[in-house]
Amino acid sequence: MWIPVSQVFPALFESGKSQANRHHVSDKAKQIANLLSPTVQALGLELLGAEYLPAPGSATLRLYIDVPEAEIATRMVGIEDCETVSREVSAQLDVEDPITGNYTLEVSSPGIERPLFTLAHFVRHQGESVKATLRLPQEGRRRLQGSIVRVEGGNIVFLVDNAEMTVAFENVDKAKIMPDWVALGFAPQPKKAGPAKPAAAAKAAKAAVAPKKTAPAKKAAKKAVKKKPAKASASKTPAPKQSGQAKSNQPAAKRPRAE
């Protein structure tokens, strides 16, 4: 009896199907970008790349545009540029019809988290931190975050967890710049930790701050708080003695004598 492989290993079959769909979507986005790039270039702009996001009933085609590299220091992409590109590209898409069904067209500047689509983009942003997703797992991971060390032929060398990792450009599905939010002023400065005290010094400091509670120490503390007795008055008049019988300078009364 013959049993389809998809029924014997359903999880493996679904995983392979999902990877095939991702590759198809990525290839579709590159195809559209290559088709529209000359049109955008004719408008004095650069098409960095495209993202094609299919969904039931509709899809989204997102284009990222920027000014040419030679004009980055003096010019920025504005809303007018996005509107112009959207109008010209829409007319071309209606003629070429590379997408079947309904879709939404979005035209945007790259923003701070700039996406990287070509090998030239990785060369341009060498030394910066990036977050990348791979098509096929490498060294047990499909996602990585590190800095771009260099580009060697068709390979990109990343610094991940203080170790170099070489990835073929064809194996990179998505990648974008990870900006330094602290340097840009969007995150607080990290607090600097003071030098760690040695164990002995920390113990001595603790003992100095909190002395041992012993009986003599309590007594000394009690004596320090005890009030001093008041001094005697400077008057020469002696204070009366406290006794059972009061004395007086008057002569004592005579007792009547019995007759």
pLDDT tens-digit series, residues 57-113: 899 999 999 999 999 899 999 999 999 999 999 999 999 999 988 999 999 999 999
Instruction: Look at residues 122, 218, 207 and name the one whose alpha carbon lies nearest to residue 167.
Output: 122
pLDDT of residue 239: 46
Say if 1-111 and 112-187 have the same CATH topology. Answer: no
Question: Helix H segments across the chain?
Answer: 5-8, 10-42, 79-96, 119-124, 181-184, 199-209, 215-225
CATH class in words for 1-111:
alpha beta
CATH classification code of 112-187: 2.30.30.180
Residue with tokens 């900006």: 179
Q: What pLDDT, on a 0 to 100 scale, did the predictor assign at position 166?
A: 97
Which band of pLDDT confidence, cut at 50, 70 and 90, is reported for residue 225? Answer: very low
Please give the mean pLDDT across all residues of the chain: 78
DSSP state of 40: H
* Domain assignments of the chain as residue spans, ordered by start: 1-111, 112-187
Quote the pLDDT of residue 201: 54
- Residues of 199-219 as b/e, b for ≥16 C-beta within 10 angstroms? eeeeeeeeeeeeeeeeeeeee
pTM for the complete prediction? 0.65
